């Protein structure tokens, strides 16, 4: 056995104090670091929310201005005049030459001042689309005419006519002038409410990017902060700060996009479209039915960069504090433990039996009180040791004298065994302390469950010795306190002799019972023969004598003679019935099935109860004793049904397998309370005894109002008990 490594109190005090100090420094530093980091993250979230809301307001205001522009144009008299010119002008080449003068100069200048429109288009009911490219100088730089149905504006044209409201088209690559454009459209009606067409304004993506793409370092978002728009298809609607040509080509799938599409706003640490960990603020943008989402974000690492510097400073300060505390704790632990070391050395001497040592009281504090108590304890130990030695001698004598095995265990792990258990099992004590009691005690499951549910319990079991021998034992189970903990005690007693005596008494009782039952059967046979051969024959002879008297000689006594004959016939029949009940002749002459069928017919005819017989596969031959006992059990059961059950139906089932024969008898009568036992009646008791004599099993299943079912099984080839 390895010797336990010794650690002094001074070492432990120093170690635990250092652990406490280190833990305190770490907790304070960690709390400061994480609190500062959380505050910095929250401040960053607030900046992101502020920037997001500013951009959101500007984008929404931008599209509201575009809506006002197109509403203004849709009601302007010059626009009505333009549509009239389009509808009356037939020569297309001539219109192309005169187109610049047809579009009012003031109108073009109005649109150019906004610096967001790339083209102005007119869709006519005759499916013609006239488009004017607008330049930043306030002039028309190009004109084109095409079939409206063949352009990307046809769906927007139909939507404007259907809704009769200002409608928007999301950013698309297939624009008229720019790489990416959005269109806003409105219907034009004449003064008499006749549809003249639809006016379209092409909004350049640059106008939206001018709002979204800014340097954010002056807003506290450093080198990685940006704000961008995402559409319903999760594609970007504004340019990325880090990727070229990102509009309608870069996809962003994230939980924040799903939340915003469901109308939610919020902040979250997530992974952006670049695969970078970022802090994000998001919300939906309310622009008609575009379903855009605005996202403001900054890289997580850049956001927490200041707190990383703070963490380094916290580590340096914590290290300096820890070094200072280490020196102070070392000095303090040495001063505190010096008097305890002296106590330790003296205690070692006491442990070796040196009870004459005492310590001088130097300190007038807790250490001094401890020294005083220690000196007093030495005297008490000296007296107690003497008493314990005497008590140990007595206990050792009792321990060696007992013949019952004793084991104390906790959840199957032995804590103490005695020498008698070693004698019983054949194992030495070192082997027993490594074995659970269940390793050498064979306990049936029902007994084990009952033992577990009771704190004090006595039960029988089988003890399996080291050499394979099985010994019947009685086990007394109890719970005791051993060394301050509750354990389970088992007292194991060899009951081999008691079992042998009980088995002999049981065998003798069965022999006597067998003698009584067989004597009854023999007496039944004798009475049956006497009735049949003696009284029966005499009655038949008297009847024949009477029948031999000529009727003409009887005279007036004819009726009397006939009555006497009738009485003799009834007496003969009753004698035969009594003889048959005592010992049916069919029981020896015919099969068990025939005998049981005759019994069922007789009971049914006499009682009015419907008695059914179900016969399964049966052996070819029966032991006569088995056949007789089965008949008597069936007869007793049917008589009980007739007398006590009040049943209207009874069923006898008999069948067998390879080694056993089964007899089931049940009725639909009133039944009885099985908890009150069933052995008070001689009939049921006799049935059970007959089954036991044949090494069989007997069971009654019943309850109040649910009839009675008797189940018996018999070994076919085993010898009956004698």
619-633 pLDDT, tens digit each: 877 777 788 888 888
- Over 70: is that where the pLDDT of 687 sits? yes
- Over 60: is that where the pLDDT of 95 sits? no
The CATH number of domain 402-494, selected from 1.10.3720.10, 1.20.1250.20, 3.30.450.20, 3.40.50.10540: 3.30.450.20
CA dihedral 508, 511, 517, 520 (to 10 degrees): -100
402-494 and 75-208 share a CATH fold: yes
- Per-residue pLDDT of 303-362, as tens digits, reads 888 877 777 777 888 778 878 878 877 777 777 776 777 677 777 766 666 666 666 666
- Per-residue pLDDT of 640-652, as tens digits, reads 888 888 888 999 9
Which pair of tokens denotes residue 131? 């488009």
Stretch 536-546: mean pLDDT, rounded? 61
Nearest to 630 by CA among 715, 702, 708, 519: 715
What are the boundaries of each domain within the chain?
Answer: 75-208, 402-494, 586-722
Model confidence at 214, pLDDT cuts 50, 70, 90, reads: low
Most confident of the following: 13-27, 377-391, 511-525: 13-27
CATH 3.10.20.740 holds for 75-208: no
- Over 80: is that where the pLDDT of 582 sits? no
Helix (H, G, I), strand (E, B) or coil at 700: strand
- Over 50: is that where the pLDDT of 719 sits? no
Burial class (CB in 10 A: 0-12, 13-18, 19+), 576: middle
Alpha helices in 276-365, H assignment, sequence order: 300-303, 305-351
CA pair distance 463, 540, nearest whole angstrom: 69
Model confidence at 718, pLDDT cuts 50, 70, 90, reads: very low
CA pair distance 271, 488, nearest whole angstrom: 60
CA pair distance 634, 647, nearest whole angstrom: 16
Q: Which helix (H) or strand (E) holds 145?
A: strand 140-147
- Per-residue pLDDT of 231-246, as tens digits, reads 989 999 888 888 888 8
Note if the pTM is more than 0.85. no
- Over 50: is that where the pLDDT of 596 sits? yes
Stretch 460-481: mean pLDDT, rounded? 84
Could you tell me the fold of the domain covering 586-722? Heat Shock Protein 90 (3.30.565)
CA pair distance 634, 655, nearest whole angstrom: 14
Mean pLDDT of the chain: 77
Most confident of the following: 286-295, 388-397, 422-431: 286-295
Most confident of the following: 44-53, 109-118, 446-455, 599-608: 44-53
CA pair distance 370, 88, nearest whole angstrom: 121
Can you give the pLDDT at residue 364? 67
- Over 80: is that where the pLDDT of 198 sits? yes
Contact in structure between 153 and 129 (CB atoms under 8 Å): yes
CA pair distance 114, 366, nearest whole angstrom: 91
169: region left, alpha or beta (phi > 0 left; psi from -120 to 50 alpha): beta
CB atoms within 10 A of CB 345: 10
Q: Are strands 697-702 and 708-715 parallel, antiparallel or unpaired?
A: antiparallel
- Over 50: is that where the pLDDT of 199 sits? yes
CA pair distance 650, 669, nearest whole angstrom: 9
422 contact partners, CB below 8 Å, separation of at least 6: 405, 428, 429, 432
Stretch 181-199: mean pLDDT, rounded? 86
- What is the end-to-end Cα distance of the chain in Å, rounded? 62
- Per-residue pLDDT of 445-470, as tens digits, reads 766 666 666 655 777 888 888 888 88
Q: Cα angle at 616 between 615 and 617, to 5 degrees?
A: 130
CA pair distance 208, 24, nearest whole angstrom: 54
Nearest to 229 by CA among 242, 248, 216: 248
- Over 60: is that where the pLDDT of 519 sits? no
Name the strands in the sheet holding 649-656, side by side, starting at the edge strand that comes first in the sequence: 610-615, 649-656, 660-667, 708-715, 697-702
**Percentage of the chain with pLDDT > 90?**
8
CA pair distance 624, 622, nearest whole angstrom: 6
DSSP character for 235? Answer: B
Model confidence at 282, pLDDT cuts 50, 70, 90, reads: very high
Contact in structure between 463 and 441 (CB atoms under 8 Å): yes
Stretch 531-556: mean pLDDT, rounded? 59
Burial class (CB in 10 A: 0-12, 13-18, 19+), 512: exposed
Can you give the pLDDT at residue 664? 92
Q: What residues pair up with 714 in beta bridges, in sequence order?
A: 661
Nearest to 119 by CA among 105, 135, 107: 135
Can you give the pLDDT at residue 5? 58
Stretch 554-570: mean pLDDT, rounded? 64
């Amino acid at each position: 056995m390895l010797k336990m490594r010794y650690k002094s109190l001074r070492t432990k005090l120093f170690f635990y104090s250092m652990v406490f100090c280190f833990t305190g420094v770490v907790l304070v530093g960690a709390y400061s670091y994480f609190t500062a980091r959380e505050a910095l993250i929250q401040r960053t979230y607030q900046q992101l929310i502020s920037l997001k809301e500013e951009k959101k307001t500007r984008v929404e205001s931008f599209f509201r201005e575009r809506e006002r522009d197109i509403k203004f144009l849709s009601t302007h008299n010059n626009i009505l005049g333009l549509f009239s010119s389009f509808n009356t002008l037939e020569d297309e080449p001539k219109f192309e030459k005169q187109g610049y003068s047809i579009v009012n100069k003031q109108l073009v200048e109005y649109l150019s001042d906004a610096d967001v429109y790339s083209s102005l288009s007119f869709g006519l009911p005759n499916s013609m689309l006239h488009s004017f490219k607008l330049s930043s100088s306030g002039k028309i730089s190009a004109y084109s005419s095409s079939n409206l149905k063949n352009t990307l504006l046809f769906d927007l044209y139909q939507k404007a006519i259907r809704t009769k409201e200002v409608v928007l088209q999301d950013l698309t690559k297939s624009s008229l002038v720019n790489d990416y454009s959005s269109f806003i459209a409105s219907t034009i009606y004449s003064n008499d409410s006749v549809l003249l067409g639809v006016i379209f304004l092409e909004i350049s993506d640059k106008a939206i990017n001018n709002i979204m793409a800014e340097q954010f370092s002056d807003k506290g978002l450093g080198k990685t902060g940006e704000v961008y728009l995402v559409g319903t298809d999760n594609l970007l609607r504004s340019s990325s700060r880090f990727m070229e040509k990102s509009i309608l080509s870069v996809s962003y799938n994230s939980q924040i996009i799903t939340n915003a599409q469901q109308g939610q706003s919020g902040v979250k640490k997530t992974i952006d479209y670049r695969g970078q960990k970022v802090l994000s603020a998001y919300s939906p943008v309310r622009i008609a039915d575009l379903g855009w989402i605005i996202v403001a974000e900054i890289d997580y690492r850049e956001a927490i960069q200041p707190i990383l510097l703070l963490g380094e400073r916290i580590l340096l300060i914590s290290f300096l504090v820890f070094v200072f505390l280490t020196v102070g704790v070392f000095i303090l632990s040495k001063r505190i433990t010096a008097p305890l070391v002296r106590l330790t050395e003296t205690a070692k001497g006491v442990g070796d039996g040196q009870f004459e040592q005492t310590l001088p009281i130097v300190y007038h504090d807790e250490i001094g009180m401890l020294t005083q108590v220690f000196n007093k304890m030495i005297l008490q130990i000296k007296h107690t040791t003497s008493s314990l030695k005497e008590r140990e001698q007595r206990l050792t004598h009792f321990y060696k004298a007992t013949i019952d095995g004793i084991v104390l265990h906790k959840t199957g792990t032995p804590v103490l065994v005695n020498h008698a258990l070693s004698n019983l099992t054949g194992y030495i004590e070192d082997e027993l302390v490594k074995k659970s009691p269940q390793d050498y005690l064979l306990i049936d499951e029902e007994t084990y469950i009952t033992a577990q549910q009771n704190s004090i319990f006595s039960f029988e079991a089988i003890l399996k010795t080291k050499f394979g021998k099985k010994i019947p034992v009685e086990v007394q189970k109890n719970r005791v306190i051993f060394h301050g903990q509750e354990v389970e005690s088992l007292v194991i007693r060899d009951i081999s002799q008691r079992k042998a005596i009980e088995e002999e008494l049981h065998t003798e009782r069965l022999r006597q019972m067998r003698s009584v039952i067989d004597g009854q059967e023999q007496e039944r046979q004798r009475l049956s023969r006497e009735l049949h051969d003696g009284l029966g024959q005499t009655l038949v002879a008297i009847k024949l004598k009477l029948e031999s008297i000529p009727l003409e000689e009887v005279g007036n006594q004819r009726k009397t003679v006939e009555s006497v004959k009738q009485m003799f016939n009834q007496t003969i029949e009753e004698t035969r019935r009594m003889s048959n009940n005592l010992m049916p002749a069919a029981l020896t002459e015919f099969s068990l099935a025939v005998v049981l069928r005759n019994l069922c017919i007789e009971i049914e005819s006499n009682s009015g109860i419907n008695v059914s017989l179900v016969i399964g596969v049966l052996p070819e031959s029966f032991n006569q004793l088995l056949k007789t006992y089965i008949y008597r059990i069936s007869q007793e059961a049917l008589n009980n049904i007739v007398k006590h059950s009040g049943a209207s139906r009874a069923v006898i089932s008999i069948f067998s397998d390879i080694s056993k024969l089964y007899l089931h008898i049940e009725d639909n009568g009133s039944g009885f309370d099985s908890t009150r036992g069933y052995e008070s009646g001689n009939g049921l008791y006799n049935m059970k005894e007959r089954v036991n004599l044949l090494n069989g099993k007997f069971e009654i299943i019943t309850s109040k109002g649910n009839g009675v079912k008797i189940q018996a099984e018999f070994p076919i080839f085993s010898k009956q008990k004698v």
